Structure 1
Amino acid sequence: MKTANATSSTEPAATSPHGGGQPLLHQKGAETQAFGTLKQVPIGLGHDTRMYACQRLNHVLADTQMLHALYKKHHWLMRGATFYSLHVMLDKHAEAQLAIVDALAERVQSLGGVAVGDPRHAAELTSVPRPPDGVEPVPVMLSRLLDAHERILIDARDAAARISAEGDEGSTDLLVSQVIRTGEAQAWFLAEHLVDTPLVRS
């Protein structure tokens, strides 16, 4: 028998000042910071310098997200006698590019900007051409990766030089030490797989 003051199991629990441990689901609200804007951060760099660096870094970031996606796509679609070695190598390269994506995004945030995070947004900003949805010959897939690397390297070198001239050495160091050096090494590995070398006869 229920007492008069018993609480029905279908009634909502009383709300405590701290939420009572219940997740507050399906929340909506306006953006707190729009893409392309800056908030003030005390890092000793002026607004215009930070704004320019964020714009350039976000473009490299969008391209790098596309390169990472290309690496994963081609990693899955490798075939032929060199399947295993290329399958493993492309996945290793993809992991390195994903680390660069994170480093670039965090740099934009540390400058007070908003990093491009949604892949659909990155696809709107990238200069890396979209591949066909299906499978291409292995040499074509490797060439596509090399083309993406070269686009990023050209842009990253220009961005590094111009950002350095603005006094933002932190962003310059990131572009040179991670984007450029990693990209150059990976492009070298890819290009060597496109050399037509006999395996058993000289």
Structure 2
Amino acid sequence: MRPAPTTAPGQPGGGQPLLHQKGAETQPFGTVKQLPIGLGHDTRMYAGQRLNRVLADTQILYSLYKKHHWLMRGATFYALHLMLDEHAERQLAIVDALAERIQSLGAVAVGDPRHVAELTSIPRPPDGVEPVPVMLSRLLDAHERILVDARDAAARIAAEGDEGSNDLLISEVVRTGEAQVWFLAEHLVDTPLVRA
């Protein structure tokens, strides 16, 4: 025999989900709320804007890595398939770190893919499959765009006194990006496999 419910269905604690809820936006994108982190409003606003640009581009880079991971072809398929997936996972970790930093500044992190598409500076690839060297070149271009923007953002944010955001941009975005560029670029060297 089932025990009788302690509350009526639809009442708080009654076990019934309160579905189809609607409400007003509680914090608009592009604003910052006050948090006691020792940084002024203007500094946090600027850092949030710059980090959101890097975040949007990094989300697109992650998606490009996954797309090219799935569409990889040719003699080096296995090595590239695995490498691109490893790089994608590292970029996904950076996406999360950037979003959490933006939130810790009191800003709102860009999260909806449709909003990301509006903010990114990375050109959209064709929907279909490109030759492998073109896919790798597309990843290199995306990395370079992010690296240029991240370095500029890091310098300007540091000048504003936000060392936390500067550290994230340099230690995660720039250092990881530089290493991944090296790995990708070496796959575009025309080196014979069976003769010297």
TM > 0.5: yes
For residue 86 of structure 2, the aligned residue among 69, 83, 92 is: 92
Look up the equivalent residue of 2:56 and give its one-letter code: A
How far does residue 137 in structure 1 lie from its aligned partner after superposition?
0.2
Q: Does 2:157 match 1:163?
A: yes
Query: Identical aligned pairs, as a percentage?
Result: 85
1:44-101, Cα deviation, whole Å (9 max, x unpaired): 0000000000000000000000000000000000000000000000000000000000
Q: Distance in 1 between matches of 2:38 and 2:160?
A: 12
Q: Distance in 2 between matches of 1:161 and 1:15?
A: 53
Q: Does 2:129 match 1:138?
A: no
Task: Name the count of aligned residue pairs.
Answer: 190
Contact 2:65–2:84, Cα closer than 8 Å, also in 1 = yes
Tell me which residue corresponds to 1:70. Answer: 64
Q: Distance in 2 between matches of 1:158 and 1:117?
A: 23
Tell me which residue corresponds to 2:4. Answer: none
How far does residue 15 in structure 1 lie from its aligned partner after superposition?
4.8
For residue 32 of structure 2, the aligned residue among 23, 33, 38 is: 38
1:19-39, Cα deviation, whole Å (9 max, x unpaired): 312110110011000000111
Give every structure 1 segment of 4 or more consecutive aligned residues whose post-TM-superposition deviation is greater than 2 Å: 13-16
Which structure has the larger Rg? 1
Q: CA RMSD in A?
A: 1.1
Contact 2:9–2:16, Cα closer than 8 Å, also in 1 = no
Q: Unaligned 5+ residue runs, structure 1? A: 1-12
TM-score by length of 1: 0.92
Contact 2:9–2:15, Cα closer than 8 Å, also in 1 = no
Tell me which residue corresponds to 2:5. Answer: none
TM-score by length of 2: 0.95
Q: Distance in 1 between matches of 2:172 and 2:142?
A: 16
Q: Does 2:79 match 1:119?
A: no
Q: Distance in 2 between matches of 1:142 and 1:69?
A: 14
Tell me which residue corresponds to 1:3. Answer: none
